[in-house]
Structure 1
Amino acid sequence: MRNALALLPLAALAACTVGPNYAGPASAGAAKPPANFVRVADATAPAAPTVALWWTGLGDATLDELERRALAANPNVQIAEARLKQARASLRLERANELPSGNAQATYLHAQLPGINLGQSSGGGGGGSTSLDFYNLGFDASWEIDLFGGQRRKIEAARASIGAAEANVADAQVSLTAEVAQNYVNLRDRQQRIVLAQEAAAQQRELLRLTEQRYGAGTASALDVERLRGLVEQSDAAILPLNAERDAYLNALATLAGEAPGALDTLLSPARAVPLPPAEVAVGDPAALLQRRPDIRAADRQLAAATAKIGAAEAAKFPRISFMGLIGIGGSKPGDIFDLDKISALAAPQLSWNFLDFGRNAARVGQAEGARDEAAAQYRGAVLNALKDAEDSLSRYAARRQTVANAARSLATAERSAKLMRQRFDAGTATMIDVLDAERQRTSAQQTLSQSTAAMTADYVAIQKALGLGWAAP
C-alpha cells in the first residue's frame, strides 16, 4: 500500500502536459469571407456543390478517362502519397518511443591475459599467460517516463503532420485534375481552330483563284491579286503554330497521365468540340471554403503540428526520470548459461535534469514558437489567397459567359449575312467573291466563338480548383 501511495505523485506528474493546446488558428476569424463573398449570383447556383469528380459535369467521356489515368499514375500524386506514408510511419515511431525498449543479447568472450594466475595457466612458469572464457545470455530494458508530456506532444505533432500530408495528397489531386482539364480544353480548342483555319485558308485560296481570273479578264488589278496572295500565305502560316500547340498539349496530357509523350495520340488525335460547362455552377456556402480547400486544411494541420512542437521543447526544460533493468545468466563454461544459480540482475532508476544549459533549451522553445508564428501567418495567407482565387474565378467566369453570348450573336449575324449573300448570288445580284468574303467572315466569327467557349470552360475549371471541389474531406 505504501508503494502504491508513493507512486501517486509520479502518476500525477505523468498526467501533466506542458505547452499550448491547439484550439484553431487565431487569425481565422479575421480571414473569414464576408456575407456577400460570392457576388456573381448570375453565374452560380445556391445548391450544395458536388465534391470530387467535378469534371464529369462537362459530359466528356474522353476527359473522364484521362482524369482516371492521371489520378492513378501521375508522379506528383504518387510523391504526395509517399510523403503521407512517411508521415504515418513517423507517427508509429513516436508512439513506439513512448513505450519501453528492450534488447536481448548473447555474449561469448575469450581473453588471453598475461601474468595472471587464475589456476588455468597454459605455461609451465609463473610468467605465462592465462586464458579466460565467458558465456552470457542477457536482456536489458529501458523506459523514460513522460513526466511533462514531451513525447505526447511529439505524437500530437506527428498526428497533425499526417493530416497535413493527407490534405497535400488531396491538393495534388485537385491541381492535377484541373491541369488535365485545362490541357484537354486547350487541345480541343486548338483542334477546332486548326479546322477553321484550314477552312479560312481554303476560302482565301478560292478568292485568289477568282481574282486571278478577273485579272486575266482585265477587271481586277495586279494589286488585288498580290494582296490576296499575301492573305493566303498568312492563312497558311497561321496553321503552323496551332499544329505545334496541339502537339504540345498532346504530350502534356500523356505526361500528366504518367505515360510517355505520344502514348495518347490515338485516343486524342480525332478532333472534337470543346466540352461545355453545365448551365449552373453550384458553389454552396462560400464560408465552407475554409474547410473545403485542401491547401487550407494542410496549412491548419501544419499550424497544429508547429504548436505541439512548442510543448515538446518546453518539456525538455524539466527533470527526466528513466528506468534501466538488466538480467543476465552465464559463467566461464557453456553450461553456465543454463544454470539458474548464475543469474545476475540490475535495476537502475535515474533522475537527470539539465538545469544549467545556459539558455540552450529556451532558445529551442523560441525557435518552436517562431515556427508556430510562421505557420500561423502561412495559414492566414492561404485563407486570403483562397478567398481571392474563388472571387476572381467566379467573376471571370461570369464575364466570360457574357463574352460567349456576344460571340454567339455575332456568329448568328455572320451566318445570316452569308445566307443572304448566297441568295443574292443565286439571283445574279452578287458575285462569288462576295459570297466567299461573307463565308470568310462567318468562319472568323466561328473562330472567335470557339476561342471564347474554350476560355469559358477553362474558367469553369478554374472555379473548381479555387473552390477545392476536387477532393473529399478525410
Structure 2
Amino acid sequence: MNRRNRYRLAACAWAAVLAGCASVAPTAPADRSQVAATLPTGWSRAAPAADAAAAPDWWAGFDDPLLAPLVDDALAANLDLASARASVERARALRDLADAGRQPQLGSSASGGRVRSGENYSRQLSVGLDASWEADFFGASAATSAAAGADLAAAGATLQATRLSVASETAIAYLQWQGTREQLAIARDSTASQEQTLQLVQWRVQAGLASSVDAEQARANLEQTRAQLPALQTTLQQTENSLALLLGQAPATLGPRLAAAPAALPRVPAMPAGVPADLLRRRPDLLAAEWNVGSALATLDARRADRLPSFALSGSLALRAATWSGLGGAGAVAASVLAGVNWPVFDGGATRAQIAAQQATLAATQASYRAAVLNALADVEDNLVALDRGSERVAALERAADAAANAAELARARYRSGLIDFGTLLDAERSLLSARSTLAGARTDFALAGVRLYKGLGGGWSAEATRP
C-alpha cells in the first residue's frame, strides 16, 4: 500500500471513529395519561360504538354523487393544504438540520502561498482533512433533535387537521348551497302560487264578490315573497363562490357542475362515536397539540443542559510541503488531535432566564392541549344532541308542512266557492310558506350536524401520516 492510500485510509478511519460516538435520540409525544384520566367514560347521548377511527372517506357515506368528487378535488387542490404540506417539508428539513448537528463534521482544505522571512522567500503548499465532534454527554443536542422531531410530528398532525377541515368545510359549503337552492325553489313555488291567488282575487273583485282590499293584500303578500328571491339568489351565488375557493378555483366557475346536483339533500349516515378517550388518538388537532407539548418539554431539557459543560473533539490530517512533489514525502504528514471543554461560569443570569421562559412556554402548551381536549369534547356533544333532536324536529316539521299544504289547498278551494274570506286563505298561504321554509332549514341543519360530528370525531385522516 503506498503512502497516499495509507493517508486516505487513516482519514476514513478517523471519521468512522467519530461517527461511532454519535447517537440519535428518538422523539416521543407528550404523556396523555393525565388528560385521559379526566375524560368522561361515555357521551351524554347514545351513539353507535366504533372499534376504530371514522372511515378516511366518511363523506362517501352521505351517498351523494357530487359530494365525494367535490371533496376529493378540494383535497387535491386546496391552497391551505398546499401551505400545510410546505410547513411539513420545512419542519422535516429543520429536523434533519438538528440531527446533522449531532454528527461528526468532516471538511477538506487546500492552500498555497509564498512566505517572506527577511530577504528570503519560501513557498508552502498544504492539503488536508479537518474533523470535529461535540460529545453530547448531558443530552443538549439530543434534546434539540427531539424537539425538532416533535415539531415535525406536530406539523404532520396539523396537515391532517387541515385536511379534515378542508373536507368538512367543502361538505358544509355544498350542503349549505343545496339548502339555499331548496329555499329558493320554495320561494319560487310560493310566488307562482300567490300569483294565481292574486289573479283569483282580481276576478272576484271584478265580479263584485270581493273588495279591492283583498286584492291589495294579495298583491302585498306576493311582493313580500318575491322580495325573498334576490336575497336567496345572492346567498346561493356566494355559497357557490366559497365552495369554488375551497376547491382552489376562481369564483363563479362551478355553476355547470353544480347543475347536476341531486334535488334532495343527502342522507346522514350513522355516526361511529366510540368513547371520549378515542379522541386523543383520532383527532389530529389534539395530536398536534400533544406533540407541541413534547417539543416544549424537549426544548426545556436542552436549555437545562446548557448549564452543564460541553466537550468537543477535533483533529486534522494534512500534507504540507514546499513543492507539489514534496507532498508525497514522509515528512509532509502533519496530524493533530485536540480535546476541549467549555463550562459556563457566569452569564449574568441569561441561562436561568432562558429556562424560565421555556418553562412558561411549556405551561402554555400544556394549557392549550387541555383546552383543545375540552373543545373537542364540546364539539362532539354539541353535534350529538343536534343530530338526536334534529331528527325529531325534521319529522315534526314534515308533518306540519303536509298539514299546511292540505290547509292551503282546502282554503283556496273554499275561497273560490265563497265559503271563507280572503284573510283565512292569506293565513293558510303564509303558514305553508313558513312551514316549507322551516322544514328545508331543519333538513340542512341536520345534514350539517352530521358533517360537523364526523369532523369532531376526527374522521378522514391516517395516523401514519402524522409520524416523523
Work out whether the TM-score is over 0.5: yes
Where structure 2 has 5 or more consecutive residues not aligned to the other structure, the ranges are 1-20
Check 1:425–1:217 CA distance in 2 against 1; reply closer, same or farther (3 A cut).
Answer: closer
How many residues are aligned here?
439
User: Which one of 34, 43, 48 corresponds to residue 45 of structure 1?
Assistant: 48
For the 8 Å contact 2:268–2:450, the answer to whether it is kept is no
1:384-395 matches, within 5 Å, as 384-395=374-385
Match of 2:345 in 1: 355
User: Which one of 67, 70, 74 corresponds to residue 71 of structure 2?
Assistant: 67
For the 8 Å contact 2:66–2:261, the answer to whether it is kept is no
1:54-93 matches, within 5 Å, as 54-93=58-97
Match of 1:327 in 2: 317
1:100 aligns with 2:104: yes
1:36-435 matches, within 5 Å, as 37-41=42-46, 44-48=47-51, 50-109=54-113, 116-118=118-120, 120=121, 133-270=123-260, 272-278=262-268, 280-417=270-407
For the 8 Å contact 2:151–2:295, the answer to whether it is kept is yes
CA distance in 2: counterparts of 1:196 and 1:271, whole angstroms: 17
For the 8 Å contact 1:103–1:141, the answer to whether it is kept is yes
Check 1:224–1:303 CA distance in 2 against 1; reply closer, same or farther (3 A cut).
Answer: same
Tell me which amino acid in the other structure corresponds to 1:325.
G
3-state SS of the aligned residue for 2:197?
A: helix
Deviations 1:354-396 (A, max 9, x none): 1222322122222222211111111111111111221122112
1:448 aligns with 2:455: no
CA distance in 1: counterparts of 2:193 and 2:235, whole angstroms: 23
For the 8 Å contact 2:30–2:290, the answer to whether it is kept is no
CA distance in 2: counterparts of 1:402 and 1:408, whole angstroms: 10
Q: TM-score, length-normalised on structure 1?
A: 0.85
CA distance in 2: counterparts of 1:190 and 1:81, whole angstroms: 34
Check 1:29–1:59 CA distance in 2 against 1; reply closer, same or farther (3 A cut).
Answer: closer
CA distance in 1: counterparts of 2:315 and 2:367, whole angstroms: 47
For the 8 Å contact 2:30–2:291, the answer to whether it is kept is no
1:465 aligns with 2:445: no
3-state SS of the aligned residue for 2:402?
A: helix
For the 8 Å contact 2:187–2:229, the answer to whether it is kept is yes
Tell me which amino acid in the other structure corresponds to 2:92.
R
How far off its partner does 1:212 sit? 1.8
For the 8 Å contact 1:25–1:376, the answer to whether it is kept is no
Where structure 1 has 5 or more consecutive residues not aligned to the other structure, the ranges are 1-12, 121-131
Q: TM-score, length-normalised on structure 2?
A: 0.86
CA distance in 1: counterparts of 2:80 and 2:29, whole angstroms: 31
Check 1:209–1:85 CA distance in 2 against 1; reply closer, same or farther (3 A cut).
Answer: same
How far off its partner does 1:451 sit? 1.2
Match of 1:6 in 2: none
Tell me which amino acid in the other structure corresponds to 1:24.
D
How far off its partner does 1:334 sit? 4.0
Check 1:296–1:369 CA distance in 2 against 1; reply closer, same or farther (3 A cut).
Answer: same
For the 8 Å contact 1:331–1:337, the answer to whether it is kept is yes
How far off its partner does 1:460 sit? 1.1
For the 8 Å contact 1:183–1:249, the answer to whether it is kept is yes
Larger-gyration structure (1/2):
1
For the 8 Å contact 1:277–1:460, the answer to whether it is kept is no
For the 8 Å contact 1:31–1:384, the answer to whether it is kept is no
Tell me which amino acid in the other structure corresponds to 2:44.
R
For the 8 Å contact 2:175–2:444, the answer to whether it is kept is yes
Question: Structure 1 vs Structure 2: percent identity of aligned residues?
Answer: 30
Check 1:284–1:313 CA distance in 2 against 1; reply closer, same or farther (3 A cut).
Answer: same
CA distance in 2: counterparts of 1:340 and 1:95, whole angstroms: 38
CA distance in 1: counterparts of 2:206 and 2:409, whole angstroms: 29
RMSD: 2.8
How far off its partner does 1:100 sit? 0.6
CA distance in 1: counterparts of 2:302 and 2:113, whole angstroms: 42
CA distance in 1: counterparts of 2:313 and 2:76, whole angstroms: 49
Deviations 1:5-48 (A, max 9, x none): xxxxxxxx999x9xxx976157515641x23x41222xx32344
How far off its partner does 1:279 sit? 5.5
3-state SS of the aligned residue for 1:98?
A: coil
3-state SS of the aligned residue for 2:162?
A: helix
Check 1:366–1:203 CA distance in 2 against 1; reply closer, same or farther (3 A cut).
Answer: same
For the 8 Å contact 1:274–1:453, the answer to whether it is kept is no
CA distance in 1: counterparts of 2:114 and 2:252, whole angstroms: 68
Tell me which amino acid in the other structure corresponds to 2:189.
E
How far off its partner does 1:343 sit? 2.4
CA distance in 1: counterparts of 2:73 and 2:89, whole angstroms: 22
Deviations 1:237-296 (A, max 9, x none): 100011111111111111101111122221013563343343532211222122211111
How far off its partner does 1:435 sit? 8.2
3-state SS of the aligned residue for 2:315?
A: strand
3-state SS of the aligned residue for 1:366?
A: helix
Larger deviation, residues 211-220 vs 450-459: 211-220
How far off its partner does 1:181 sit? 0.9
